């Protein structure tokens, strides 16, 4: 498995983000459960894809700059049939390494109360719960985490 930087408009990146949004909509029963501005090419500092040896894109993740000291993980996703393959830790490590190289001090993320698998993954990866931040502050289903880099 390899991790590669991708443009926001890369067809594989678009397809994986669409699958992620569909899965979230099914879990929460609404087509748009994201508070605040959705990520876009204009505000995503980095987007990566996890590819299998044959080139198949199986996962993705991005970073949005929050302030001078850190950023937010956005659109982290691995296809359900490839979960447990090691793709998610590779994606997360690539995002963290890129952020460290740029002097970012911390990464934050938001997930929801209907995503226990995500909560387990992030806590196992060293992320600790924090109070909801930004657009998530008034969202009762939001669970926020941070890791100091």
Domain boundaries, the chain: 2-148
Q: Is the pTM of this model over 0.85?
A: yes
The Cα–Cα gap between 33 and 24 comes to 8
CA dihedral sign, ordered 3, 136, 69, 129: negative
Q: Domain spanning 2-148 has what CATH number? A: 3.40.630.30
CA distance 48 to 57: 10
What's the number of CA atoms in the CB half-sphere (13 Å) around residue 50? 25
3-state secondary structure of 32: coil
Please say if the pLDDT value at position 46 is more than 80. Answer: yes
Answer positive or negative: Cα dihedral of 77, 79, 84, 85.
negative
Which two structure tokens, joined as six digits, stand for 145?
Answer: 């985490």
Structure confidence by residue, pLDDT tens digits, 74-127: 999 999 999 999 999 999 999 999 999 999 999 999 999 999 999 999 999 999
């Amino acid at each position: 498995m390899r991790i590669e930087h991708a443009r926001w408009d890369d067809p594989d990146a678009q397809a994986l983000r669409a699958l992620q949004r569909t899965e979230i909509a099914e879990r929460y029963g609404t087509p748009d459960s994201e508070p605040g501005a959705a990520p876009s090419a204009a505000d995503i500092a980095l987007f990566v894809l996890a590819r299998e040896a044959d080139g198949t894109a199986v996962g993705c993740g991005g970073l949005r700059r929050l302030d001078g000291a850190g950023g937010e993980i956005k659109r982290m996703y691995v296809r359900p049939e490839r979960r447990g393959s090691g793709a998610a830790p590779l994606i997360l490590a690539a995002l963290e390494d890129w952020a460290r190289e740029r002097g970012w001090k911390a990464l934050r993320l938001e997930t929801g109360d209907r995503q226990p698998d995500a909560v387990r993954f992030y806590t196992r990866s060293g992320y600790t719960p924090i109070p909801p931040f930004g657009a998530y502050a008034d969202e009762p289903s939001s669970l926020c985490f941070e890791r100091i880099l």
